[in-house]
Amino acid sequence: MGNKEQLKEERDKIVKGLEEAYRKLVAFKKDKNSPMIVLREGKITAVDPNEVLPTTLYKRKSG
């Protein structure tokens, strides 16, 4: 396996882990009825966890 393929495989595993962490965070926040704190347009904002998608897909540049 070449270096590029190995890096792509590692990157894909990291992205998959980030997606799973996000899913667990949203589920936890919904369970505790606790707002999610996010940065929107340079401002810290509290968001109702029921208003966010339960999953997300990270977009990555090809290459």
pLDDT for res 54: 81
CA distance 18 to 36: 16
Q: What is the pLDDT of residue 53?
A: 82
Q: What is the pTM of this model?
A: 0.74
pLDDT score at 13: 94
At residue 2, the pLDDT reads: 86
Alpha carbons 8 and 21: distance in angstroms, whole number = 20
Q: What is the pLDDT of residue 44?
A: 96
Can you tell me the distance from the alpha carbon of 4 to that of 10, in angstroms, rounded to the nearest whole number? 10
Q: Which residues of the chain have pLDDT under 70?
A: 1, 59-63
**Confidence (pLDDT) at 61:** 64
Domain boundaries, the chain: 3-51
